[in-house]
Structure 1
């Protein structure tokens, strides 16, 4: 199971997410065990998330979205009326990030529903592979495009790849991988992924 961060979610976006998960679960008439089984992780983990005791990793968020049968962007976006058209503008002010020990994530175009892909800005914050923890793996097709800094991509079966601004990599998200930043400069990437059905 992917690691979770034992830190209270005191910031408002995390509280809002915890309340939304509980509200959506209860609206479907599910107890915590039912959602945990649908999402594929322990009920105790879900309980801690709903009570603000754990901050979910990207992998856990993706599993929760799959458990609810929705897009990840629907789960993490601020709840506003859906768009009639198919256009949304994300201004430079990104708002609060979804954070875990290795990354900060900002969903993009979250108000657009039914897309075959999802997109985020991501900052990779970890520099030490030994401190990274369990490598990521999720059932998606992934694209990372480096906007700033230097990204070191570790993947199972390949030598580590160094990517700099302007470089992109497409890869199978189910392949174990770990993204690290190299150097002092902020490593920021555009992350586009498509969940597999």
Structure 2
């Protein structure tokens, strides 16, 4: 079976994301190499993403956002509707989640501009550290608040931490880490994720 990151993403949210990346790149007059250089990864990776052959990891999405000079929420959400002021009310889970290796993400408040932090709902879908792959590491300060299920956080230099609904953890996103779903296979681990790019 192919690794999760190499599986084609034919679902509508992934097609929209791939099309948005290509549209934004072409609107700036950049070829794939120009955007890849700005984002700091290989042009071949960008080509696979734009053609729906690769589901970008969280780290790659962060790099793409930095390459475009926008927030991650701007990149992964549908084109926002212009709002007056800074009040956004979102009821329930916002739309279809973006599947990532080991997670499913729902960006929150994408219409708010100029804020020093970003927020998401995140489901951790991997329960086995051996199947997690490379640990995450990104240029952010992170906070996770467990809403449901059990979260097991592995970090470099610290013993694993198990968190339950109502528990919160703050950590340095540059530290290698892996977030796993604890409990049984039928339990959903959903968290509020708040992060501030450095």
C-alpha deviation, 1:4, in angstroms? 6.9
| SS of the residue 1:161 aligns to | strand
Q: Which residue of 1 aligns with 2:72?
A: 72
In the alignment, the residues of structure 1 paired with residue 105 and residue 113 of structure 2 have an alpha-carbon distance, to the nearest angstrom, of: 19
Corresponding residue for residue 162 of structure 1: 162
CA distance in 2, matches of 1:4, 1:101: 6
* Residues 68-98 of structure 1: per-residue CA shift (max 9 Å, x gap): 1111111111113221210111121432111
Instruction: Name 1:152's counterpart in structure 2.
Output: 152
**What number of residue pairs does the alignment pair up?**
194
TM-score (ref. length: structure 1): 0.95
SS of residue matched to 1:183: coil
* Cα distance change of structure 1 residues 44 and 4 upon mapping to structure 2, 3 Å threshold: farther
Structure 1's consecutive aligned runs of 4 or more residues displaced over 4 angstroms after TM superposition are none
Q: Which runs of 5+ in 1 are unaligned?
A: none
Consecutive unaligned residues in structure 2, runs of 5 or more = none
Q: Could you list the per-position Cα deviations for residues 134-166 of structure 1 after superposition, in whole angstroms to 9, with x for gaps in the alignment?
A: 000000000000011111100001000111111
Instruction: Give the conservation status (yes or no) of the 8 Å contact 2:142–2:194.
Output: yes
SS of equivalent residue, structure 1 residue 144: strand
Describe how 1:52-67 pairs up with structure 2 within 5 A: 52-67=52-67
